[in-house]
Amino acid sequence: MSCNLEDNCYTIRVDRFISSQLDRNVNAESSKMSRLKKIDPEAAVQAAMALFWQHGYSGLGTRQLEEETGITRFTLQTSYGGKKSLFLKALDTYLDVFEAHLCPNMSDGEMEAIAVWFEQRIEPSNLPDAANYGCLLLNSTVEFAAEDGDVNLRAERFFNMMRGGFNAALSAAKDKGNLPPDFDIAAMAEVLLSGAIGLNIVIRAAAANSAGKNMAYSIASMVRGWATN
């Protein structure tokens, strides 16, 4: 009987221990989930965007992504669909911000506005810190080398915005008489687009906006030279 009693006592102690551990694990998981709910999804995507901007897609590990955004691996999969889906969300956020605030949108017909657009690209006060790493969309386009359909769609959106913005700005300037009648708008819009791409590549290579200073000023000078007034 004593042996059975001891066995029963041991079993009770083990059961209590397991129960306490389960309670502890449940409480820990509950606390963890509570913290996760407090992470603002928009802020998390913004943080991820900055990390992808700096490190690229392949260069950013899942652990670093978790540590610096507050997104756990579980949440990354269940709420964002994994690293690739989060990356695409970050690209979309970048494009939305770019379209609203940074895309060339000079409709006043003044060539000076186009020149200033290039000069402002190297001014840290006008840009987030991540801009020292160039353009997120251009960086991603180069990294994926046209081999990813999802990235290609976003690259197409970006280039259409840029090309359309420069075309509209030059057209407005020509209509206002600030460009010669025979000025080739389409060709010169491509020149400006190429200049913007090259400027961001120079900045990305040096990881510093200031590296593009000479190029930005040279493009601005060229644009001012096109003006008839």
Enumerate the H helices of the chain as residue ranges. Answer: 2-38, 41-55, 62-69, 73-78, 83-97, 111-120, 136-144, 149-175, 185-206, 213-226
Please tell me the pTM assigned to this model.
0.80
Question: How crowded is residue 51: how many other Cβ atoms within 10 Å of its Cβ?
Answer: 20
Q: How far apart are CA 218 and CA 52, in angstroms?
A: 30
Percent of the chain with pLDDT over 90: 73
Mean pLDDT taken over the chain: 86
CA 114 – CA 225 distance, rounded (Å)? 12
CA 216/CA 220 separation, integer angstroms:
6
> At the top level of CATH, which class does the domain 103-226 belong to?
mainly alpha
- Do the beta carbons of residue 51 and residue 68 sit within 8 Å? yes
Q: Specify burial of residue 15 (Cβ count, 10 A radius: 0-12, 13-18, 19+).
A: exposed
- The DSSP annotation for 120-159 comes to HTT-GGGS-GGGGG--HHHHHHHHHTT--HHHHHHHHHHH
In this prediction, residue 77 has a pLDDT band, given cuts at 50, 70 and 90, of very high
Encode pLDDT of 121-139 as tens digits.
Answer: 998 787 888 999 999 999 9
pLDDT digits (tens, 9 = 90+) for 156-170: 999 999 999 999 999
Burial class (CB in 10 A: 0-12, 13-18, 19+), 12: exposed
Distance CA 224, CA 118 (A): 12
Q: Torsions phi, psi of 184, nearest 5?
A: -85, 95
Highest mean pLDDT out of 8-17, 82-91, 95-104:
82-91
Fold for 40-87, please state it.
Arc Repressor Mutant, subunit A (1.10.10)
Confidence class for position 207, pLDDT limits 50, 70, 90: very high
Per-residue pLDDT, 38: 58
CB-CB contact of 219 with 199 (8 Å): yes
Q: What is the pLDDT of residues 4-39, one digit of tens each?
A: 444 444 344 444 433 444 444 434 443 444 444 457
Tens of pLDDT along 55-73?
999 999 999 999 999 899 9
- Give the type of residue at 47: A
- Average of pLDDT values for 78-101? 95
The residue-averaged pLDDT of 204-222 equals 96
**Residue 4 has what pLDDT?**
47
Contact 191, 200 (CB under 8 A): no
